[in-house]
Amino acid sequence: MNMAIEQPTVKPFTLSIEGLGKFNRREGDIYWAGIKNNPLLLQLNKAIVEELRNSGFTIESKEYKPHLTLGRKVVLNDAFDIKEFEKTIPPMEMNVNRVSLMKSERIGGKLVYTEIYHCDLTLLGKSPT
């Protein structure tokens, strides 16, 4: 796929991981770790969505909920208490210096992710230290 996407003007940033949650599914839930509200991530998401729409892609208009998927088709026993488990997870952060646009598709019954575009944020103009 050849896409003419303008490079975003976002410098590398840090994300804070906080909270656990799930998306309910019939075949088993999707569990995720939440991402603390981050203005740079929201700005980047907005710019990417706008650029994709301008390039002719149809983008869902539902609220953006940044998260890290931990497991799919998860079925836990009834005694599992997600709030108690969440208390055992230490604070975590991750540095973001590259953004990838991924295509997800089912191949042979398995979900496969393929990078179709990326942008290294570290290559953008750096602010003085």
Task: Specify the pLDDT at position 9.
Answer: 66
Distances (CA, A) of 31 to 70, 84, 124: 6, 15, 34
Question: Which residues are CB-neighbours of 123 under 8 A, at least 6 positions away?
Answer: none
pLDDT in tens, the chain (129 residues): 445 555 556 788 999 999 999 899 888 899 999 999 999 899 888 888 888 899 898 988 888 889 999 999 898 888 989 889 889 989 899 999 998 989 999 999 898 999 998 888 865 444 444
Structural domain boundaries in the chain: 13-95
Sequence-ordered alpha helix ranges (H) in the chain: 39-54, 82-86
